[in-house]
Amino acid sequence: MYSCCNLSLHGICFYQGEIVSCCYAPNDQINGGLPPVLFPDYKGQIIPKEQLFKRMRYFSSQFKNGSCPIECKGCFQIKEADWDESEYIDFITITNFSCCNINCVYCSNNLKPYERSNNHYKVLPFLKYLKDNGVLRQNLEIHVGGGEFSIYSECDAILEEFGVTNFAKIYIATNALHYSESLNRAIKAGSTYVVISLDCGTRKTYKKIKRVDAFDKVVENIHKYAKDTKNIHTLTIKYIIIPGINDNFREFKKFLKIAKSAKYTWVRVDIEGRYLRSVNNNANPIYIKMAKKMIKMAENQGFLSGYHAFLQQAKERKTSFSDIIDFIKLKYFKTGIKKFYTNEKY
């Protein structure tokens, strides 16, 4: 028994220009903090498995010796357990890309150092090498994020290799503007899990949030992905409450109508992360109450529902008079909104 984390022993993450252990770092990555770097200056080359595990052991052995790599200090993934030290990979993150075909007001790629780019190295040759050499555990998790995966150059090939075959559980966020037949096939195969942040129920609000006029196309694609889906957990449609933009029940009811017509099972609600970070997770209680009520509304209509990532971190407290003033300022006067949503024209 010792304190360690699974990812330092069995995880790799394809990052912007390097392979790192994970995409978690105790320091906020928006501020440039990196998790343990396994291979800097990575450009898609095949690294022999012996070399890979030797480098991974450099970090994991620090845990075993009762210490902790400096990059991992304070990480919530560290726990005491009887760790399996055999050499395999069961958790991969692909986040070496930031290309996208829409332009959400809350996208972290709008902020340096995560500028949008189509210029990414290839991951599939190395992934195939790891699979062919028995390094990848069957049923491993592959998490994909960073930009829009459906337009990423290796998207279809990765999904065909790992998703359609059910070799891995693949977790993907997509905006659903580009329809991918391979993604559809992987969803139907049953172990690819997709989250689509629609965040609205009308074309007008969609344009405000996503800054492209593509509401109808996205809803059409949502229907295609949802049709005949057998695993009730594979599809989630998400509503991120964005202060001053979609923070009302009228919009949410229309959103639920779309979810219903697409026969979605999961509806998740969140509070926008950039806003939440700017108030140090101390969200205005009005938004938390709103999110809770939205979840209830979804459940009453037969959906599985719940909070998504950011909302789980929000602290709960009583609504004060100044919270009401803040809410009115944001909602009706858009005061301070530019602070959270750069490049937005109000």
Which residues of the chain form contacts with ligand SF4 (CB under 6 A)? 5, 7-8, 21-22, 24-25, 35-36, 71-72, 75, 77-78, 100, 102-104, 107, 109, 147-148, 175
- Pick the closer one to ligand SF4 by CB: 246 or 286: 246
- Pick the closer one to ligand SF4 by CB: 21 or 305: 21
- Pick the closer one to ligand SF4 by CB: 63 or 162: 63
Give min distance, CB of 75 to ligand SF4, in A: 3
Q: What is the dihedral of CA 319, 296, 334, 327, to 10 degrees?
A: -10
Give min distance, CB of 312 to ligand SF4, in A: 17
| Span between the terminal Cα atoms of the chain, in Å | 55
Count the helix, strand and coil residues of the chain and give each as a percent rounded to the nearest 5.
Answer: 40, 15, 45
Give min distance, CB of 56 to ligand SF4, in A: 10
- Pick the closer one to ligand SF4 by CB: 75 or 271: 75
Give min distance, CB of 47 to ligand SF4, in A: 18
* Residue burial 302-315, b: 16+ Cβ < 10 Å; e: rest: ebebbbbebbeebe
- Pick the closer one to ligand SF4 by CB: 75 or 237: 75
Give min distance, CB of 286 to ligand SF4, in A: 24
Alpha-carbon 16 to chain mean position: 16
- Pick the closer one to ligand SF4 by CB: 75 or 172: 75
- Pick the closer one to ligand SF4 by CB: 90 or 167: 90
- Pick the closer one to ligand SF4 by CB: 109 or 265: 109
Give min distance, CB of 222 to ligand SF4, in A: 14
* Residue whose tokens read 């979605």: 264
Name residues whose C-beta falls within 8 Å of residue 201's C-beta, 6 or more positions apart in sequence. 251, 252, 253, 254, 255, 256, 257, 258
Structure tokens at 185: 């096939």
- Pick the closer one to ligand SF4 by CB: 141 or 326: 141
Give min distance, CB of 231 to ligand SF4, in A: 24
Contact (Cβ atoms closer than 8 angstroms) between residue 222 and residue 179: no
The answer, yes or no, to whether the previous bond of 113 is cis (omega within 30 of 0) is yes
Please report the sign of the dihedral spanned by the C-alpha atoms of residue 326, residue 332, residue 335, residue 338. Answer: positive
Give min distance, CB of 132 to ligand SF4, in A: 26
Alpha-carbon distance 274 to 259, whole Å? 25
Name which of 37, 40, 34, 41 is nearest 59 in CA terms: 37
Residues β-bridged to residue 194: 172, 235
Q: Other C-beta atoms within 10 Å of 183: how many?
A: 26
Give min distance, CB of 104 to ligand SF4, in A: 3
Amino acid letter at 219? Answer: V
115, with CB counted inside 10 A (0-12, 13-18, 19+), is exposed
